[in-house]
Amino acid sequence: MRFQAVLALFLFITTVSAVAAPTLQEKLTEQWKRYDQARALLLEQVQKTDIPAAQRAISREAWEKILQLPEDYAFTPQDLSDLKNIQARRIQIAKDKAKLDSIINLDRIRAKKTAKQFCEKIPKGAMLHIHPGGTLDRALAAKLLADVNAKIEAAELLKHIDSTGGNSMLLPEERAWLSQIPADANYLTLSPADQKTFSNYLFLPPGKQPFPRFNSVFSFLGYAFPEWEQYEQVLLDFAQRAVRQGVLYAELTTSTSDDLFKAIAVVEQQTGLVIRVNNAFNRTRDLDTLENGLQTLLSYPGNLHLVGIDFLDNEGTNPALEKGQILYGTLLHKHMKGETKLRRTMHSGEIGDVRNPRDAMIMGAERLGHGVNLAKDPVALEYAAKIHEPIEINLSSNLRLSDVDKISEHPFLNYLRLGLPVSLSTDDEGIFDIDINHECQIAIEQTDVTYSELKKMAFNSIRTSFASESDKQSLIRALSKRFHQFERSHGY
């Protein structure tokens, strides 16, 4: 009898334990609660403005402690495998549906090798991830370099690059070539061959490059547009190209000023492109500098063109949490109180800490720029799908600067098929020698994207923009009309 009683007790305990074990969905729900708790703490900390920003900042250790699940709720390797399998099934279902919903069969375009011509005609909607200085193309660069004819201060250039603490760099052969330029040389005193070599410094060398090499390009762009007169030409040239390629709206990430807004107003009038601006904050700055910059921005008189903020530069050495929490937490708090209408996007998941996209979302980023590393964290990806986090995708940029080795391996279609409102953009299209037509083309040629998905991304780009609701409705009507005409031209 005693043995039977012990056995019965053991079976009861085992059964209760099995029943009580949390499911994968229960673990995810608990994780989302931890995300909310971390955000609540951040909102509490940013209000303590009587102490320096660095003292208000939440440490990585404290942040991770909040997010850590209890032992019985911790995700096991099997949980993560199951979650990936669930996501894969949802991706496949969405892919099959997208194919059925497509009135144009892109496989025929692929077979005929006419993706280039197709992408020249398909409507694009908006581009939400544009650095205006990086849009300078080679033709305009050659003209502006000659017009400006600046003195090539090679020693100062190298000194500046070396002063960045490794955030900018040149290859040894590039440094050697610059070092041999005469101290009194102007651009036009260089030989034609040397002029071409120098102009190449305004663009990224072929192949994959480290982020600091990309950063160094910006040290040279000023030789082409040192004054507003030249910068306005760069803006106008970009806008004209964008309009020719079917773009209706563009969001620029850059430093803001009255001169910029005046230039944008002129460009809009001349081209019809609707342009808005996200003020650029540099993540290499310290927390107090970033906070002071935000206060200055918030005191700026309301402007039609200023719609949000962005956080840029080297993500590898400047993580989202450690550098962005005061900036984004403060703006989120003010937005929740109705004190500002400025929106929040963030360069996140391009390179660096895999936790950056997760942290950016918790801190209130309403869109993610790049987001490649989000695919490496299935739990954060599931959260992004839950809240429908928009992603600004820049295929060529990611191929050159992130660990994406093939466009076919880029996770953007998985994101789209999981319900994230993905859109295509070009980042620094001049620096990469590309345009939005090219991004469309490589998407068709190197992935299994469907027509309905291209169309969805075009509408996503408008719907997830920071344009006013009235502007969005107008842009959506215009885009719908263009797609109607485009599809009629294909016999539909």
Catalytic residues: 350
- Output the DSSP codes for 129-164: EE-GGGG--HHHHHHHHHHH--B--HHHHHHHHHTT
Nearest Cα to 309, choosing from 240, 369, 245? 369
Between β-strands 247-254 and 343-348, what pairing exists: parallel, antiparallel or unpaired? Answer: unpaired
Q: Token pair 């989000």 is at which residue?
A: 374
Token pair 């719908």 in the structure block, residue = 480
Asked if 371 and 398 touch (Cβ cutoff 8 Å), the reply is: no
The whole-angstrom separation of Cα 355 and Cα 389 is: 15
Degrees to nearest 5, angle at CA 168 with 167 and 169: 130
Distances (CA, A) of 437 to 45, 205, 259, 429: 45, 21, 30, 11
Tokens of 417: 């098929």
Closest CA to 381 of 53, 87, 76, 69: 87
**Do residues 367 and 251 make contact, with C-beta atoms less than 8 angstroms apart?**
no
- d(CA 98, CA 74) in angstroms, rounded, equals 35
How is residue 172 written in tokens?
Answer: 């040894």
Residues 6+ apart with CB under 8 A from 308: 251, 278, 279, 342, 343, 344, 345, 466
- Give the CA angle between residues 96, 98, 101 to the nearest 5°: 115
Nearest in space to 380 (alpha carbons), one of 87, 6, 49? 87
Torsions phi, psi for 402 (to 5 deg): -100, -170
User: Which token pair is 400?
Assistant: 């050159």
Using DSSP's 3-state secondary structure scheme, residue 343 falls into strand
Tokens of 464: 């997830």
For residues 67 and 38, the answer to whether their CB atoms sit within 8 Å is yes
Paired strand residues for 423:
392
DSSP lists the bridge partners of residue 348 as: 370
- Of 141, 128, 116, nearest to 242 by C-alpha is 128
DSSP one-letter code for 427: B
